[in-house]
């Protein structure tokens, strides 16, 4: 497992430059949709508190909305980069160049993380206007954000490698990412869910991500943040191994 810094950084540079060249689509468009959520929820539930948390609703959902931006944009970056590369034929550039498999995994992953973290940071800056901007554990928030963005960047790589056309990526996005995100407690506390649904939510990995970041923001969460950290970290390592293996076998890119 070797990394050539110039080779590796060139891939990261390419991945970051790719989305910044179309910043209106990749940074500002997601920001508008998250901004609309903030406006709607802050005015609709102005005086409401979340049961068991004792914080205003807007303070409760801001970490969830930031997570949502992070997840969707990290995933979108790597998945669209790879399916685009397949579509344009430039996927062979990555195969002909002397990348190690771990360099490919990390290079694409970091590109996705940069976009996810950038959109999440801008979303946070906008959210300061709505809730004041307090973060109980800022370094923990950054740590969780980095881990979550890596997970969904890696998911995006798997989707991009698996997909044979752009439609396939939206299957991943519409049938997995969006439902798992919306049902992860972004907008509510899973403790308050009726009956079995509270337990079912524990099988949703995104729940641990949202919950952990919520702990970092407001100092309260449904689960222990240490347990959430363990789940998130394990998932990130597992996906990194899977993605590196997929690059090694040339999954759907080598004939």
CB 145 within 8 A of CB 213: yes
According to CB under 8 A, which residues from 81 to 120 bind another protein? 85, 88-90, 92-100
* Chain centre to alpha carbon of residue 235: 13
Binding mask 22-41 for another protein (x = CB under 8 A): x-------------------
Around Cβ 86, how many Cβ atoms within 10 Å?
A: 19
CA dist 241 to 16, 33, 73, Å?
23, 33, 22
Beta bridge partners of 56: 49
Residue 93 CB, nearest distance to another protein (Å)? 7
Min separation Cβ 203 and another protein, Å: 37
Tracing tokens 């973060």 back to the chain, one arrives at 135
Please tell me whether residue 165 binds another protein under the rule CB under 8 A. no
- Residue 4 in 3-state DSSP? coil
Told to check if 7 binds another protein by CB under 8 A, we report yes
Please choose, out of 3-11, 165-173, 179-187, 231-239, the segment that lies near another protein by the rule CB under 8 A.
Answer: 3-11
Contact status: 164 vs another protein (CB under 8 A): no
Q: Which two tokens stand for residue 12?
A: 């990261």
d(CA 27, CA 122): 9
Enumerate the β-bridge partners of residue 49.
Answer: 56
Each residue 176-205 as x (binds another protein by CB under 8 A) or -, in order, gives ------------------------------
CA distance 216 to 176: 26
Q: Does 254 bind another protein (CB under 8 A)?
A: yes
Residue whose CB is less far from another protein, 22 or 202? 22
Cβ proximity to another protein: between 9 and 27 the closer is 9
Q: Which residues bind another protein (CB under 8 A)?
A: 2, 4, 6-7, 9-11, 13-14, 17-18, 21-22, 85, 88-90, 92-100, 250, 254-255
């Amino acid at each position: 497992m070797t990394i050539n810094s110039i080779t590796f950084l060139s891939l990261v540079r390419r991945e970051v430059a790719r989305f910044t060249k179309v910043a209106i689509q990749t940074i500002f468009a997601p920001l508008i949709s998250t901004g609309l959520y903030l406006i709607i929820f802050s005015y609709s539930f102005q005086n409401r508190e979340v049961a068991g948390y004792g914080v205003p609703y807007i303070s409760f959902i801001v970490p969830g909305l930031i997570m949502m931006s992070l997840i969707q944009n990290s995933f979108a970056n790597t998945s669209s980069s790879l399916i685009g590369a397949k579509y344009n034929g430039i996927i062979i550039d990555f195969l002909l160049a002397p990348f190690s498999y771990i360099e490919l995994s990390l290079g694409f992953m970091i590109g996705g993380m940069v976009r996810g973290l950038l959109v999440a940071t801008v979303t946070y800056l906008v959210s300061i206007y709505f809730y004041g901007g307090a973060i109980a554990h800022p370094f923990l928030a950054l740590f969780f954000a980095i881990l979550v963005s890596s997970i969904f960047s890696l998911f995006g790589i798997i989707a991009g490698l698996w997909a044979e056309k752009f439609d396939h990526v939206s299957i991943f996005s519409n049938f997995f990412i969006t439902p798992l995100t919306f049902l992860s407690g972004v907008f509510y506390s899973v403790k308050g869910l009726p009956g079995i649904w509270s337990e079912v939510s524990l099988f949703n990995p995104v729940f641990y991500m949202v919950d952990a970041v919520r702990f970092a923001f407001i100092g309260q969460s449904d689960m222990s943040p240490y347990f959430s950290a363990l789940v998130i970290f394990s998932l990130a390592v597992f996906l990194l191994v899977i993605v590196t293996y997929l690059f090694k076998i040339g999954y759907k890119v080598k004939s």
